[in-house]
């Protein structure tokens, strides 16, 4: 309806998507718009039958990527209230799903307009949509709003993304940047030329200016990508078998013998705990004696039930300690370690930055919860981390 009215009022070009990839957070279907405009003064003259063949083709292709589907990419009328762009909803959904906190989605969608008000109504387009969405997610997952503030929000409140359309919440700005001055000029005027340095840093693995810009925006991931491309070692992410595929079925033993240090034990699995639990209980008989064991998955493979090599899949578990003590430094959401700012033996005060993590393309400083001495550092640059893990220990 929106596109039709736009055309009637003089719009000459519209964005659509083939039907099998349209709707919800995507564009309207191409075939529907072609049919709606047929035999009118706005007739596109496109071949509807050919477009339908394309739609059927991608309908089958889409099944291969079912693991990336989201229940939040369909029609959702709440967008009229929260004004969240489609790409944002997909990212938020995946982050919450990874953390096992998808039930907080409604709370995040309700928090986004509040954060947007606090930040002076930035437009929900890249990159400020991501800035607002990530901060809303942190506000929901943290014990209190703005307990954790991303570096991008701090830069935004300093004026480094330009002047906000409206007044920002002064309390939030003070909490984020303290008494630091706010930029009133054009932020780009404060930047020094750096293209020459970037070309020198990345060297010959950059084959074009676009490669240099990739490195500039994503220094670590960009360098890894360019090096793997040069070495011919780039590999696509493993895809899960489509639901209902005949190869989904594989045989799993429930009774077997285990030999350990020369001793053989007869094992029979009699029951299991819920498969979605972080630590899953298995109930077994060992030589006829009932036992209970707890299994925490640290890595996994996707089997296809045949003789092919299993596909590698990232495990959700972790070998790190669970954060339980006041001096255990942890993070609010899954992410990647961008920088470790301390080493064992350092003295820190409460609130000092300890780590920098990246999640949903936003960087966040992780601060010391207490004052003390760094007892242990359990992470390094590039590590994947999850909430409730003890990343650094302070005593």
Closest to 55 in 3D by CA, of 32, 78, 89: 32
**Do 18 and 51 contact (CB within 8 A), yes or no?**
yes
If phi > 0 it is left, if psi is from -120 to 50 it is alpha, else beta; for residue 121 that is left
Q: Across the strands, what pairs with 357?
A: 337, 364
- Beta strand 255-260 with 335-340 is unpaired
Q: Which contiguous run of DSSP H or E holds residue 363? A: strand 362-367
Taking the C-alpha atoms of residue 32 and residue 37, their distance in angstroms, rounded to an integer, is 9
What pTM did the predictor assign? Answer: 0.67
Q: How confident is the model at residue 312 (pLDDT cuts 50, 70, 90)?
A: very low
CB neighbours (10 Å) of residue 272? 14
pLDDT tens, 215-233? Answer: 998 888 899 999 999 999 9
Count Cβ atoms within 10 A of the Cβ of residue 395 and give its class: 0-12 exposed, 13-18 middle, 19 or more buried: exposed
Residue 393 pLDDT > 60, yes or no? yes
**Do 90 and 133 contact (CB within 8 A), yes or no?**
no
Query: What are the DSSP calls for 293-360, one per residue?
Result: EEEE-S-EEE--SSSSPPEEE--S--SSPB--STTEE--SS-EEEEEE---TT-EE-TT-EEEEEEET
**Do 88 and 129 contact (CB within 8 A), yes or no?**
yes
SS3 state of residue 227: helix
pLDDT tens, 286-304? Answer: 887 888 888 877 666 555 5
- Beta strand 353-359 with 255-260 is unpaired
**Do 185 and 140 contact (CB within 8 A), yes or no?**
no
pLDDT tens, 46-92? Answer: 999 999 999 999 999 999 888 877 777 677 777 777 777 776 777 77
Q: Which residues contact 314 (CB under 8 A, 6 or more apart)?
A: 299, 300, 384
- Beta strand 353-359 with 362-367 is antiparallel
pLDDT tens, 164-194? Answer: 999 999 999 999 999 999 998 999 999 899 9
Q: What is the pLDDT of residue 363?
A: 85
pLDDT tens, 79-130? Answer: 777 777 776 777 777 777 766 667 788 898 899 999 999 999 998 888 888 8
Q: What is the pLDDT of residue 392?
A: 95
| Choice between 90 and 326, residue whose per-residue pLDDT is larger | 326
- Token readout for 330 is 């942890």
Q: Across the strands, what pairs with 280?
A: 295
Q: What is the pLDDT of residue 262?
A: 84
What does the DSSP 8-state code read for residue 16?
A: -
CB neighbours (10 Å) of residue 105? 18
The whole-number average pLDDT for the span 267-289 is 75
pLDDT tens, 128-161? Answer: 888 998 899 889 888 889 998 999 999 999 999 9
Taking the C-alpha atoms of residue 143 and residue 35, their distance in angstroms, rounded to an integer, is 52
Taking the C-alpha atoms of residue 216 and residue 320, their distance in angstroms, rounded to an integer, is 32
| Choice between 104 and 366, residue whose per-residue pLDDT is larger | 366
Residue 374 pLDDT > 90, yes or no? yes
Place of tokens 């003789």: 307
| Choice between 214 and 99, residue whose per-residue pLDDT is larger | 214
Q: Which residues contact 144 (CB under 8 A, 6 or more apart)?
A: none
User: Could you tell me the sign of the dihedral formed by the alpha carbons of 236, 240, 241, 242, in that order?
Assistant: negative
Taking the C-alpha atoms of residue 83 and residue 89, their distance in angstroms, rounded to an integer, is 10
Taking the C-alpha atoms of residue 135 and residue 332, their distance in angstroms, rounded to an integer, is 11
């Amino acid at each position: 309806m929106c596109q039709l009215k736009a055309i009637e009022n003089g719009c000459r070009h519209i964005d659509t998507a083939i039907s099998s990839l349209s709707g919800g957070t995507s564009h309207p279907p191409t075939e529907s718009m072609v049919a709606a405009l047929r035999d009118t003064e706005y007739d596109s003259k496109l071949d509807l039958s050919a477009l339908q063949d394309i739609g059927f083709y991608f309908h089958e292709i889409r099944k291969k990527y079912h693991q990336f589907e989201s229940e939040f990419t369909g029609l959702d009328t709440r967008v009229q209230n929260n004004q969240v762009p489609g790409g944002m909803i997909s990212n938020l959904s995946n982050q919450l799903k990874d953390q096992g906190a998808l039930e907080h989605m409604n709370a995040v969608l309700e928090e986004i307009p509040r954060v947007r008000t606090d930040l002076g109504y930035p437009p929900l387009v890249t990159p400020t949509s991501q800035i607002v969405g990530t901060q809303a997610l942190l506000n929901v997952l943290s014990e209190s709003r703005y307990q954790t503030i991303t570096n991008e929000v701090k830069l935004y409140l300093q004026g480094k993304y330009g002047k906000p359309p409206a007044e920002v919440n002064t309390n939030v700005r003070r909490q984020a940047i303290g008494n630091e001055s706010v930029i009133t000029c054009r932020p780009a005027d404060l930047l020094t030329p750096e293209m020459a340095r970037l070309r020198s840093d990345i060297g010959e693995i950059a084959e074009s200016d676009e490669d240099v810009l990739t490195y500039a925006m994503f220094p670590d991931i960009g360098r890894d990508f360019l090096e793997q491309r040069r070495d011919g070692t780039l590999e696509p992410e493993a895809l899960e078998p489509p639901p209902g595929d005949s190869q989904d079925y594989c045989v799993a033993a429930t009774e077997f013998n285990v030999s350990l240090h020369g001793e053989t034990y007869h094992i029979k699995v009699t029951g299991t705990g819920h498969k979605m639990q972080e630590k899953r209980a298995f109930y077994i008989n060992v030589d006829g004696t009932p036992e209970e064991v707890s299994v925490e998955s640290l890595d996994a493979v996707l089997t296809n039930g045949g003789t092919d090599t299993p596909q590698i899949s990232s495990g959700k578990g972790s070998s790190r300690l669970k954060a339980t003590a006041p001096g255990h430094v942890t993070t609010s959401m899954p992410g990647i370690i961008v920088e470790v700012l301390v080493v064992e033996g350092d003295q820190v005060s409460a609130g000092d930055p300890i780590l920098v993590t990246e999640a949903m393309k936003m960087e966040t400083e992780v601060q010391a919860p207490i004052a003390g001495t760094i007892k242990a550092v359990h992470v390094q640059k590039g590590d994947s981390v999850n909430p409730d893990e003890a990343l650094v220990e302070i005593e």
